[in-house]
A = this chain, B = another copy of it.
Amino acid sequence: MAKNTITLRILPEENWISVPVGISARDALSTADVVLADYCGGQGLCGKCRVQFLEGAPDPSYADDEFLEKNEIEQGFRLACMARLDNDAAILVPFETRTQPSQVLVKDVEAKPIAADSGFKKIQLKIAPASLENQLSDFDLLRQAVKIENLRADLALLKKLPFLLRESDYSLTLSLCEDDLLDIEAGDTAADVCALGAAIDLGTTTIAGALYHLESGKLLSRAGRLNPQTIHGADIISRIQYASASPKNRKEISALAAAGINEVIRELCAAASVSADAILSITLAGNTTMQHLFLETPADFLPTAPYVPVFKDALNLSAGDAGLQIHQRARLFVFPSIGGFVGGDTVADMLIASLENSAKPSLMIDIGTNGEIVLGAGKRLIATSAAAGPAFEGRNIACGIRAESGAIDSVSIVEKVSVHTIGDAPASGICGSGLLSAISAFRQKGVIDASGRFNTNALPSLKDRFFENEEGLGFMLIRKNEGAQRDIFLTQKDIRQFQLAKGAIAAAVQLLLKEYGIAASALDKIYIAGAFGNFINPEDALIAGLIPAAEKEQIKFIGNAALAGASETLLRTPMRAKALELARRTAFIELAGRPDFQDIFAESMMFGIF
């Protein structure tokens, strides 16, 4: 008899487990809590889940041939998601293949139930059958029972209705979206499975989601993961280039986004122990490019002037048409955008910041690779975008890493330098908020001057932190022999990278203020949104000159407001019209074409400008 299980030895931890025959190596490892990097969600598309079979390597898959070198395959390397375990095996999981818990921002969604008004509901009905005295059609029975004069159903539901009615003895559960019938089930299922909805923030780097009960507004779970499109480039432009190369590519990059969202949905549902089939509504906010790439609407004309998107208004679509694996009649609401580079995520932020409700102008900044800035009050709202580059995400920085376990996220200097890492793990690099914190500390202690140049004479106690190599001056934050996983430092070039990023944001803020005709001192509030904004210290942002000078109380961190805004539109139907109105009403100000842009940008790279 063939055996039903095999034994798997996991190295280097020497963990021996028993798993069913035929399972994938990725799934087998996950049962032992070894979680692998998997940008594509285990579809053999990203090549990130490399492991090495020391014994019992299966035949290479087509994905192995694509992603691995011939000699690697000979050495037993395989992509774990595509490797089927039919025999006992020993697998070495390299350090770089293991995922570090990532700081994907999902914690900022309002956790308290809010009064929901989603338009979706499930209703249980016990109906009296038609009679000769009361010759109603089957559909009339439903219509009268739910008291919706113009109840609508599609043909597929009408086809199954008569049998469902009679099999269930006229006891049905209806799923409804306003006047539209979304589903009919026999018996009382409303008690088991309520009408669920998901809000999705589709970011360039990460996808975050929150699952709600659509009737009570109760938050059921949150989840986040990397956007699998990352395999085709970390930035927007390389993804657009890839997608625009052929209809096949456009389809692929759309499918990757859908796969990522579906994976987030699976996680949301697993955490809440519910089925994805119960999800009747999804709202999605992303930047204009992400929304285009996901929906397969060509982003070809976005990168070049006049930066034309296919659509800016909100879209109400079938979730299934967009590749989402939830209830077959689920609805998808896609956020309206303001322009090619101020997208649905900014509009979602705006629903949270509510600038239109304040009497004095306020400023909202979403800090990221692309910074979005909105300024205004009441009926006058203006917006622009600033290409900050990847420094805030820890990229293009010598020791930069993503905000993950082991990343330095804050730096302080008294006499000596001390660092703090995410998860208090041994330092493995520095992330965006650590960079900002370091710059702030450097400025306070004179380690850099107003132009950003290192001053090696600042503090005597820091003398030995400076070093010089072929690339120029550098400053050591923590050495390998001080408990870090390796030497971690900042170079003069890193400081310049930061200055380019903060200069872009600060210049955009100044130009918007100029356009609006007010001084920074006239601002009421400064809202800081976005994943990066959430992890920074407001004082650091002020000192580094990222935001205009302000009292601490004026600065409001609204965290991952895009997800919160998406949740608002999920749970409260009127917010959808409000989002569209805000998007249409906010004027996009194009900075690139302005004659004063270059001067103000150069000036904004300096410190002490605000």
Contact = CB atoms under 8 A, between A and B. Distances in A.
Given A162-B300, A295-B158, A137 B588 contact: no
A529 to B, nearest CB: 23
B162 A317 contact: no
Contacts of A237: none
- Copy tally for this chain in the complex stands at 2
Contacts of A306: 129-132, 134-135
Contact of A312 (B129, B139, B340): B139
Contacts of A312: 136-137, 139-140
A277 B223 CA distance: 46
A135 B311 contact: no
A142 to B, nearest CB: 10
A160 B261 CA distance: 24
B295 A162 contact: no
Nearest to A334: B155
B310 A138 contact: yes
A162 B307 contact: no
A137 B311 contact: yes
Contact of A322 (B130, B155, B308, B315): B155
Contacts of A155: 295-297, 315, 317, 321-322
Contacts of A593: 132
Chain A interface mostly helix, strand, loop or mixed?
loop
A254 to B, nearest CB: 10
A139 B312 CA distance: 8
A107 to B, nearest CB: 33
A308 B588 CA distance: 58
B311 A158 contact: yes
A301 interface: yes
Contacts of A297: 155, 158-159, 161-162
A308 B339 contact: no
A588 B131 CA distance: 13
Contact of A308 (B138, B305, B307, B310): B138
A356 interface: no
Q: Which 7 A-B pairs have the closest CB atoms?
A: A137-B312, A139-B311, A137-B309, A132-B306, A158-B297, A162-B298, A130-B308
23 contacts: A131-B306, A132-B306, A135-B307, A135-B340, A138-B308, A138-B309, A138-B310, A139-B311, A140-B312, A143-B313, A155-B297, A155-B315, A155-B317, A158-B295, A158-B310, A159-B296, A159-B297, A161-B297, A162-B298, A162-B301, A162-B308, A163-B298, A166-B301
